[in-house]
Amino acid sequence: MIDIQNLSKIYRSTGIETIALNQFNFQVRVGEFVAIMGPSGCGKSTLLHIIGLLDTFDKGDYYFNEQQMNDLDEKTRGTIRKKQIGFIFQNFNLIDELTVFENIELPLIYNKVGKKKRVSKVNQLLKDLDIEHRKKHFPQQLSGGQQQRVAVARALVTEPQLILADEPTGNLDSKNGNEVMELLADLHRQGSTIIMVTHSNYDAGFATRIIEVKDGQIMAERKNKREIRIIDK
């Protein structure tokens, strides 16, 4: 699904160059759950943003589903993001003025899905994620764990091929954080492909493969031995 070859990203400001990614090579197969770890500033979030087409790169090649992502115009990048990639952020990124239902529904509106289908899909996700009773509440009325469940639902509502999670438990206590990780593990068992950036060894333990990044390069890679049973959809 993901094939990155010799990718480099350099940030430039006032004569200063900061190498975020340096000749980076990275592949992800369909159905994997990959955790990316490393110290702050090592390039892991930059990598996630490039994979999610939220950022560009300077050199190298990036293929998503065998389609080259180099030099795409913004309209094409936006279309791929909306239809094929779901994002889960540390800060939830919910819209305060919209209800839970409306936050989850928004990506479907962007994708011009009809109202009847939108209502059906959102209601099913609300039920699946046990937040149906909060559908008319606003984000400020929810706990951190509930807000992240809403963010997960929003990421899933378009049925994306790839889920990108950037520190998904970073703003949660241990109980709510564990619930979110269990949810991601369930999604993976159902066949979802997930790439997650995390500082947490505990969270990384839910992944099937762990990549350690330092100074914009992969320093180590290992597989987790936990067994994953894929659930038929």
Evaluate if residue 108 carries a pLDDT over 80: yes
**DSSP one-letter code for 67:** E
Q: Taking the model in full, what pTM does it have?
A: 0.89
Buried b (16+ CB within 10 A) or exposed e, 197-229: bbebeebbebbbbbbbbeebbbeeeeeeeeeee
Higher pLDDT, 41 or 114: 114
Q: Model confidence at 25, in pLDDT bands (50, 70, 90)?
A: very high
pLDDT digits (tens, 9 = 90+) for 49-71: 999 999 999 999 999 999 999 98
SS3 186: helix
Evaluate if residue 31 carries a pLDDT over 90: yes
Find tokens 């030099």 and name the residue: 71
pLDDT digits (tens, 9 = 90+) for 73-107: 999 999 999 899 999 988 889 999 999 999 999 99
Q: What is the mean pLDDT of residues 104-126?
A: 94
Pair 42, 205: CB distance under 8 Å: no
Q: Model confidence at 233, in pLDDT bands (50, 70, 90)?
A: very low
Residue 171 CB contacts under 8 Å (≥ 6 apart), including other chains: 90, 91, 92, 144
DSSP H or E segment with residue 107: helix 100-110
